[in-house]
Chains A and B, each alone.
Chain A
Amino acid sequence: GESVGLHLPTLSVQEGDNSIINCAYSNSASDYFIWYKQESGKGPQFIIDIRSNMDKRQGQRVTVLLNKTVKHLSLQIAATQPGDSAVYFCAENKWGAQKLVFGQGTRLTINP
């Protein structure tokens, strides 16, 4: 069946370092992938997305990489800041559909 998983449940990084959060997916038919950030007491917040016809997309301090060969997705956060502390989820679906399949999440902790 469909599943999206994360390699690590927790990640600790030093403030100012780069963070890399990984995600594996299993549905080859998925063509749209999204990263969400969820802070305590809040709903998930959209960070960045990528369609399957791309392998890299950059935003402000964030980059998403998609490797369709090994069904792997990663989120890179440059110069990690205390405000980046949160749980990060990857999600997949088909473009235009609404049924997102989420991974279990990775908790990112920033050390001062």
Chain B
Amino acid sequence: KAGVTQTPRYLIKTRGQQVTLSCSPISGHRSVSWYQQTPGQGLQFLFEYFSETQRNKGNFPGRFSGRQFSNSRSEMNVSTLELGDSALYLCASRTGTSANNEQFFGPGTRLTVL
């Protein structure tokens, strides 16, 4: 079974631009979460989607948004990029049922904002 895939793996943008990152969960997984990882703040939860609905949200500004499609694939969007948005963005999937809470992470998208 293929793991969580994220595209692109690397991205360079300039301040003020917007970016869209993509995540394909493990087949059969209906829950997708996004995390931001930086050296200073560590791993921080952005949001979680389940069956195309946002189920949880972290403490990030409205410039960060996401969505989930009917096939469980998810995208996250960051508008009006700032230098501080440079980070590794990680996607994680799980089945979504409470009986199994294990999350599987993708390799991440490394975003650099210049």
Interface set of A (CB-CB < 8 Å, partner B): 32, 36, 41-46, 49, 89, 91, 93, 95-105
Contact with A along B18-53 (1 / 0, CB 8 A): 000000000000010101000000111100101000
A44-B90 in contact given A99-B56, A100-B45 (Cβ < 8 Å): yes
Within B63-114, which residues are at the interface with A (CB < 8 Å)?
Answer: 90, 92, 94, 98, 101-108
Q: How far is the CA of A83 from the CA of B73 in the complex (A)?
A: 32
A45 to B102, CA, bound (A): 10
| A43 & B101 in contact (Cβ 8 Å cutoff) | no
Asked if B55 is at the interface (CB within 8 A of a chain A CB), the reply is yes
Other contacts beyond A44-B90, A93-B101, A105-B42: 14, CB < 8 A:
A42-B107, A42-B108, A46-B104, A49-B102, A89-B43, A98-B45, A98-B94, A98-B103, A100-B43, A101-B45, A102-B35, A102-B42, A103-B42, A104-B42
Q: What's the minimum C-beta distance from B21 to chain A, rounded to whole angstroms?
A: 13
Chain B interface size range: 20 to 34
Instruction: Please classify the interface of chain A as helix (H, G, I), strand (E, B), loop, or mixed, using the class held by over half of its residues.
Output: loop
Q: Which residues of A sit under 8 angstroms from B55, Cβ to Cβ?
A: 98
**B111 CB to closest chain A CB, in angstroms?**
15
* Residues in B whose Cβ lies below 8 Å from that of A89: 42-43
B43 adjacent to A95 (CB under 8 Å): no
